[in-house]
Amino acid sequence: MKIRLFLVSLLAIFSLHILRAEEYVVIAKDSKLFDTPIASNEYATKNGDDADCLVRPGMTLRLVEHKKGWDVVEYSPGLRAMVMQTILLAPASVKVPAPGNYNVANNPKERVTVTNTGADWLITSGTKHYKGKRAGNAVVFLNNKNELVYSLLNIGKTPYVYNYTNEILKFF
């Protein structure tokens, strides 16, 4: 009986971890990422060039955990920082996007094509293709390592597509 209870407890913890890993937050306004829960320039997360790591409206980041008014997010594979919960968009403000052709918000030279068949989403940029899935009303597109590569969502009537590769974001 004790072993069974232990296994059920482990399964519950494992399931919670899996669900938590699939949550995303959407940025509502321009802000910085922070290393600690103090919104001060000296605690801003820096990239390899010692510049602040900035986030823009419509960016979608993987949620790691909540911490008293702050969210810990994964802003690049394996890299975590904190964002104030006051700069996050309410989930009800995010609308399900439509398939189509979009300009990438953080890379104006890039244009992508998004298709949708039932629950299957696909984004194409040049010769690269990534499968997507719904994360709330946003769609996140992941590479074969389960890392965020693109996101697509609508805020009001404005669609946002972001490219999360380091060549574009320059987060590290």
- CATH label, 22-87, candidates 2.30.30.40, 3.50.50.60, 2.160.10.10, 3.40.50.2300: 2.30.30.40
Q: pLDDT at position 51, please? A: 87
pLDDT band with cut points at 50, 70 and 90 for residue 18 = very low
141: alpha, beta or left, given left = phi > 0 and alpha = psi -120 to 50? beta
Q: Please say if the pLDDT value at position 76 is more than 50.
A: yes
pLDDT digits (tens, 9 = 90+) for 107-160: 999 999 999 998 999 999 999 999 999 999 999 999 999 999 999 999 988 999
Number of neighbouring beta carbons within 10 Å of residue 112: 21
**Paired strand residues for 80:** 74
- Ranking 10-19, 32-41, 124-133 by mean pLDDT, the lowest is 10-19
Q: Which two tokens stand for residue 62?
A: 């993987």
Q: Which of 21, 44, 32, 26 is nearest to 162 (CA)?
A: 26
- Domain spans of the chain? 22-87, 91-169
| CA angle 13–19–23, rounded 5-degree value | 140
The DSSP code for 19 is H
Separation between Cα atoms, residue 170 and residue 49, nearest integer Å? 9
